[in-house]
Amino acid sequence: MKLITVGFLLVVIGILVIIAGIFSMAYQAWKMGGMEKQEVRGGGVVMIGPIPILFGTDIGALKLVMILAIVLMVIAALLILLSLRML
């Protein structure tokens, strides 16, 4: 598989994940319409190269973000190895 194809595929997958997140948030807002306000949990990852910087509001969110950061690091390592193999 050509490297350009892999890059295009990753961009398309990223766009689809963003769209799925938007639909998920809209569905939850519609489902919870008139209910009482619930506690908000969240977290995030900032990837600087292969090194993740994690932040979050509680331990549960940080655990999920940590798993996602590990997955992103593995994907980055695989893409680097794949690009070196193609040279």
Over residues 7-45, the pLDDT tens digits come to: 899 999 999 999 999 999 999 888 877 666 777 788 888
32 CB contacts (<8 Å, ≥6 apart)?
38
State pTM to two decimals.
Answer: 0.53
- 6 close to 79: Cβ distance less than 8 angstroms: yes
pLDDT for residue 21:
93
Work out the average pLDDT over 52-75: 88
- Of residues 67 and 40, the one with the higher pLDDT is 67
Residue 6 reports pLDDT greater than 90: no
Rounded CA-CA distance 52/32 in Å is 33
Work out the average pLDDT over 60-66: 89
* Token pair in block for residue 32: 């919870």
